[in-house]
Copies of this chain bind each other. A is one copy, B any other.
Amino acid sequence: MDQRVKKKATIYDLSVLSGSSPSTVSAVLNGTWRKRRIKESTAETILGLAERHQYTTNLQARGLRRSRSGLVGLMLPVHDNRYFSSMAQTFEGHVRSRGQCPVVVSASRDPEEERRTAETLISYSIDQLFIVGATDPDGVHEVCEPAGLKHINIDLPGAKAHSVISDNYEGARMLTEAIIRHFGNDAPLRPDELFLFGGRNDHASRERIAAFHATKKALLGADPEDGVQSSGYSPDITLRAFETFYQRHGKLPRALFINSSINMEGLLRFMAGRPAEMFSELVVGCYDYDPFGSFLPFPVIMVRQNVEAMITKAFELIDEPPMVPQTFLIAPELIQPRSALKGPLDTLKDIA
């Protein structure tokens, strides 16, 4: 491509061209010139020159001087997931509307990586950090805190910073109940026919599992000990859990509580290559919402977490944090089978 890269104009260039000082140019350019009582005509001249020379602020220089960057960070476990990517989408909208620049990165659910990532972002002097689904939120806190970086946990709570999470217990209770009720009275579900797959030793999973147990006991009067198959947040481990189950029992349960769309993909992998009829009696509850998942050939009841509300609350909290770390619960929503809901994309204009 082209060789001659015209060096970018600086306030000094404009200062020379306009005959005013760098500080005047600076004030004009960043809008503080009214209160510096700079003549309208001076301002206009400078603005005109800036325009003509395509001046743009060097944000690294400004950031160095101000010791903040205008960047706002969002740290996700992974990008490739509808729940988290809709967080990113929603987050971006909020940050943009505040005139700042969103920066989205992922940290692979790895505590080390989470801390390293936070450190890197701090080195760029980001202004705020939103920590989503961190494996070790308090570890991240330990690096944010001494740097004076405002931060907040979302989706998985920490003990040392404010947290906004969805009401996992209530969501799982609704979901478990919905699964059980789905069977009605002709062929009511037996306690040993409902299993939970997925989950891990994190706050969300523990809450969901607790609600699952409690609701089973309340509605079915019993709850066999082996009703839960942890398989992390990995499709393949979940696949193996299903295979193991199938080998042992010769069939799948009639009803499944699946801990997330990622585990749900494990079920899909199990389905692949097996006859569709094998799943015709199945009823699934999935703690996550995916429009495609909602239309599978068997009933899939889903829980949708309220991403918009979580992000909104998180911004409120990060702006005026209460004195003592608190965790806020956001109510999720139960979604009946065959529902196609709107998402963050629907607010974007689109020209066909």
Contacts and interface: CB of A to CB of B under 8 A. Distances in A.
A8 interface: yes
A208 to B, nearest CB: 15
B297 A295 contact: yes
Contact of A92 (B102, B105, B291): B105
Contacts of A230: 352
A325 B1 CA distance: 8
Given A80-B345, A232-B352, A123 B59 contact: yes
B69 A80 contact: no
A185 to B, nearest CB: 24
B236 A109 contact: no
Contacts of A265: 291-292, 340
A349 B292 CA distance: 26
Interface stretch (A29-37, A140-148, A167-175, A187-195): A140-148
Interface in A47-97: 54, 56-61, 63-64, 69, 71, 78-82, 84-86, 88-89, 92
A218 interface: no
How many identical subunits does the complex contain? 2
What range describes how many residues of A lie at the interface? 35 or more
Interface in A294-339: 294-297, 321, 325, 338-339
Contacts of A57: 123
A318 to B, nearest CB: 12
A234 B343 CA distance: 11
Given A61-B64, A339-B272, A5 B148 contact: yes
Contact of A56 (B88, B122, B145): B122
Contacts of A161: 1
Contacts of A79: 79, 85-86, 88-89, 92, 104
Nearest to A300: B292
A88 B92 CA distance: 15
Interface in A119-153: 119-120, 122-125, 145-148
A16 interface: no
A58 B54 contact: no
Nearest to A92: B106
Contacts of A236: 342, 346
Contacts of A294: 268
A269 interface: yes
Contacts of A352: 200, 230-232, 234, 237
B271 A338 contact: yes
The 5 closest A-B pairs by CB, nearest first: A292-B292, A232-B352, A5-B148, A234-B350, A79-B88
